[in-house]
Copies of this chain bind each other. A is one copy, B any other.
Amino acid sequence: MTNAAITDLVAHGNSSARIAELLRAAILHGEYQPGQRLRQEDVAQRFGASRVPVREAFRTLEADGLVTLVANTGAWVSRLSLTECDEVYQTRERVEPLLLRYALPHIDEAHADRLEELAAQMQRTDGVEEFLRLDREFHLGSYEAAETTVLGDLVRRLWNTTQHYRRAFTLLLDEHATRVVHDEHHMLVGAIRAGDADDAERILAGHIRRTRLGLARHPEVFDLLP
């Protein structure tokens, strides 16, 4: 979401749900960094509300894993350790292939074309932010057709918690690694087109696993973060 879009929304009606949404976007966008303290008063002022709905928004984002609350003390943007990050990736490795399986039968030709186009765009871009956006759109886009309730939310949450670490990690990708990533994206589209759920699951699990192992080999990623 762009900053202009955020500002637009501020003008409209107030609600803790709105604040949660905007604050989530702001955190994912990198406006607040992991470990940074969130003062109720500041956030309230920023969104033109009182502290009560802000506290409710904090509770929502806490459950999303984006904010860490400590009673009588304060709120911080969540900060994952290397092991926690690894844990999230291991979980994603198990869960996302299942979600893709749910989505598979509902992905039509046009949808697959769109995914392929995203993969191609990703290959052409140089910007890190652009890459992150496209990658997110590609993967979450491939799950979009799934008619699930809990599972979809769960996966989105896992993505959100690692957003900052994806950004830092992307900076460390060498040419070879990048090439493999792109190859896997195209293979994934192929399996999706063929409607081969087992194959798609295998490729996706491998894709996530590769990222996880890459992350484990580059613990310095965590030094790039504040």
Contact = CB atoms under 8 A, between A and B. Distances in A.
Interface of A: 15-17, 52, 55-56, 59-60, 62-65, 71, 84, 87-88, 90-91, 94-95, 98, 102, 148-151, 154, 158, 161
A75 to B, nearest CB: 13
Contacts of A60: 59, 62-63
30 contacts: A15-B71, A16-B59, A52-B52, A55-B56, A56-B56, A56-B59, A59-B60, A59-B63, A60-B62, A60-B63, A62-B63, A63-B63, A63-B64, A84-B149, A87-B149, A87-B150, A87-B151, A88-B150, A90-B98, A90-B151, A91-B95, A91-B98, A91-B150, A91-B151, A94-B94, A94-B98, A95-B95, A150-B158, A150-B161, A154-B154
A154 B171 CA distance: 30
Q: Helix, strand, loop or mixed for chain A's interface?
A: helix
Contacts of A64: 63
Contacts of A17: 71
